[in-house]
Amino acid sequence: MAELLEVKRLFTRFHTEDGVVPAVQNVSFHVGHGESLGIVGESGCGKSVTCLSVMRLIPTPGVINADSVKLDGKELLDLSERKMQDVRGNEMAFIFQEPMTSFNPVFTIGYQLEEAIRLHQKLDKVRAREESISALKAVGIPRPEQVVDEYPHALSGGMRQRAMIAMAISCKPKLIFADEPTTALDVTIQAQILELLNELKKSLNTAIVYISHDLAVIAEMTERVLVMYCGYIVENADIDSLFKNPKHPYTVGLLNSKPDLKREDEKLKPIPGTVPNPLHLPKGCPYHPRCEHAMDICRERLPEVTTVSDDEGTEKPHQVRCWLYPENNTTREDTSK
């Protein structure tokens, strides 16, 4: 079966007065029907920009270039902006991390849900209202018949996030991007929202891409993970392989810096340094100034994507962009563009 989303050699750059910011660099990945994919990395590594680029939501001065971005076999790069608007919200949707700034404060929740439903499903106002109430009910909002007429500020953070999810699923999209969907919520509400997304994924067979730097969420909710650094995908593996046998030193650093109750007597091991300024990326591998395994070649040349075998012998592909694994290379990728 063909993949739901196929992205090949995606580049996104922002042309600023200070220079060109390479936000997404030579990114290729896929998402299967009904699959849950995680994208992790520190802030500023290109996670959100990658997903917004797929939806063609990058504002000026951003420029998107790619060999191909296909959704269910449809080439999105060939669509006009008018036709792309028909895809957004209908075939794929985006859940933003702060719903208070995503909803228009001067319109009711129902008005904003109905607008998308009427646009994409061509329903009249009465039917659109019924579908809005049904969507609010599906995400567990109490009193949906009353909430539909309330303004965003009248809802709690958890209820606003549920309303945002209701908007995302209102047209039953094939793919949802969830950008830090639980960041602003307390722990109890976080668990409820994640369980809700998992139930909706199963009931609608919707693929979900989780953007997060919370490794606990990624471990619980996804089947496969992309690790991003400085706009590049540096590791791509299924969830079990990544947590049990991480390959890239950056991935190892992320896992080691995660709090673990089983190691309560041990200090956390933060990754030294910070993510470099994208206007002044270091030569070679962008991670080498922070990497304890850096070699001379790391400082001179950018490594290519390498497919490696796991120590446990799994047949699932495990890809890494690192000079530590040149001998196992089976897939070479042209990094010039």
Q: Which residues pair with 232 in a beta bridge?
A: 229
Q: State the first-to-last Cα distance of the chain, in angstroms, to the nearest integer.
A: 31
Share of the chain above pLDDT 90, in %: 66
The CATH label, of 3.40.50.720, 1.10.10.10, 3.40.50.300, 3.90.550.10, for the domain at 1-91+176-337 is 3.40.50.300
- The model's pLDDT over 125-148, given as tens digits with 9 standing for 90+, comes to 999 999 999 999 988 899 999 999
Higher pLDDT, 5 or 139: 5
Residue whose entry in the numeric block shows the structure tokens 């209701």: 166
211-224 as b/e, with b when 16 or more CB fall inside 10 Å? bbbbbebbbebbeb
In terms of Cα–Cα distance, which of 226, 250, 231 is closest to 36? 226
In angstroms, the CA 65 to CA 61 distance is 13
pLDDT level of residue 184 (50, 70, 90 thresholds): low
Report the pLDDT averaged over residues 158-169.
89
Most confident range (mean pLDDT) of 25-39, 148-162, 254-268, 320-334 is 25-39
pLDDT level of residue 190 (50, 70, 90 thresholds): confident
Chain centre to alpha carbon of residue 126: 35
Mean pLDDT of the chain: 89
Query: Is the full-model pTM beyond 0.75?
Result: yes
Task: Using alpha carbons, list the distances in angstroms from residue 282 to 203, 232, 235, 275.
Answer: 46, 14, 19, 11
Q: Are 58 and 12 in contact (CB under 8 A)?
A: yes
pLDDT level of residue 321 (50, 70, 90 thresholds): very high
pLDDT on residue 263: 64
What are the start and end residues of each CATH 3.40.50.300 domain in the chain?
A: 1-91+176-337
Question: What one-character-per-residue DSSP string does 58-125 give?
Answer: PPTTEEEEEEEEEETTEEGGGS-HHHHHHHBTTTEEEE-S-HHHHS-TTS-HHHHHHHHHHHHH---H
